[in-house]
Amino acid sequence: MDGSEAPTTTAQARPSHNPLPFREDCWSEEATYTLIEAWGDRYIELNRGNLRQKHWQEVADAVNARHGAIKKNRRTDVQCKNRIDTLKKKYKIEKARILASDGTLTSSWPFYYRLDALIGSTVPAKKPSPPLALPLPYRKTPPSLPHASPVPVAVRSAKEKRPSPAVDDSFFRRNYSAVAAAAAAAENDADSESSRSSTESRRRDGEADGFRQLAQAITRFGEIYERVEGAKQRQMIELEKQRMQFAKDLEFQRMQLFMDTQVQLEKIKRAKRAAAADGNL
């Protein structure tokens, strides 16, 4: 009997020594605290502005310096940014839940109060108005008087169909949390859309500046090319004038030489004729 129970006890106790499966992307509470502190310091330094990529890399380095001894625990800048975004969404839902309770509830989430000190002033403190159909169960029906007039059947049946206040309170809280979560998600989507719009606007402005500079460069190149071509044409005209003048002078000298030669030949002929005439005499 004792021998059969011993293996069962050992088998039951063995799972407690096996660690649960570890996800490489999960964050421990200590690492999350370090992440919030590293991000919060730079968030305050930037006057509660958005961190750039170099700042996120500094945050990741700070987290890895304390918790990155094991390679699988090391975090990248993208993982740190995604973790902060997740914490912000969780904080907004938690804050909406506390505001909906009119101060009767407190948060047991360990990171709530640190995030509230960092981004509490940037989250609207006004409670979102609940749907109009939900507060109806909170209307208390005045007790009926002994000699009051009979209540109409339709009104009485409607009152009987209303659920009890305790059930309505739970229903309201669940729906209100869902509405608050949806509102937080919509706000985050709106922030992302605004960020994308501003990025797209800056990109278009950069492209417009690039095209403007390219057009100015082309205009300057055209002006320089026009001046060079004008100087080249003027130089060619001047060279053509000089060539024509040189050809004219050369032709004039050739004609002068030809005429001088003809005059000399004519003189020689006359001298020969004169000598021949004298010989005949």
- Winning range, highest mean pLDDT, from 60-74, 124-138, 198-212: 60-74
% residues pLDDT > 90 (the chain) = 36
As given in the structure block, the two tokens for residue 8 are 């069962």
Q: Where are the domains of the chain?
A: 29-120, 209-280
Higher pLDDT, residue 96 or 196: 96
Query: Residue 180: is it exposed, middle or buried by C-beta count within 10 angstroms (0-12/13-18/19+)?
Result: buried
Q: What is the sign, positive or negative, of the torsion defined by CA atoms of 100, 103, 104, 105?
A: positive
Amino acid at 245: Q
Q: Is the pLDDT of residue 33 over 80?
A: yes
Write down the pLDDT at residue 174.
52
Write down the pLDDT at residue 281.
67
Higher pLDDT, residue 151 or 45: 45
Higher pLDDT, residue 190 or 200: 200
Overall average pLDDT of the 236-245 stretch: 91
Residue 69 — very low, low, confident or very high, per pLDDT cuts 50/70/90?
confident
Please enumerate, as own/partner, the contacts of 29-35 that have beta carbons within 8 Å and a separation of 24 or more.
Answer: 29/110, 30/67, 31/63, 31/66, 31/67, 31/73, 31/75, 32/83, 32/87, 32/111, 33/111, 33/114, 34/62, 34/63, 34/66, 34/67, 35/59, 35/63, 35/75, 35/80, 35/83, 35/84
Closest CA to 136 of 155, 162, 157: 162
Higher pLDDT, residue 186 or 170: 186
Angle, to 10 degrees, between the axis of helix 77-100 and the axis of helix 165-280?
140
Higher pLDDT, residue 34 or 170: 34
Q: Is the pLDDT of residue 272 over 80?
A: yes
* pLDDT tens digits, one per residue of 121-179: 776 655 545 544 444 444 444 444 444 444 444 444 444 445 444 444 554 455 555 65
Q: Is the pLDDT of residue 116 over 60?
A: yes
Overall average pLDDT of the 182-198 stretch: 68
Query: To which residue do tokens 């699988």 refer?
Result: 72
* Mean pLDDT, the chain, whole residue set: 76
Write down the pLDDT at residue 156.
46
Overall average pLDDT of the 228-255 stretch: 91
% residues pLDDT > 70 (the chain) = 65
CA distances to 41, 210, 214, 217 from 207, rounded to whole Å, are 35, 5, 10, 15
Closest CA to 75 of 24, 38, 30, 41: 24
Higher pLDDT, residue 139 or 55: 55
* pLDDT tens digits, one per residue of 211-231: 888 998 999 899 999 899 999
Alpha helices, H only, 120-164? 153-161
CA distances to 27, 155, 177 from 163, rounded to whole Å, are 43, 15, 20
CA–CA separation, 150 and 206 (whole Å):
77
Write down the pLDDT at residue 3.
44
92 within 8 A of 123, measured Cβ to Cβ: yes
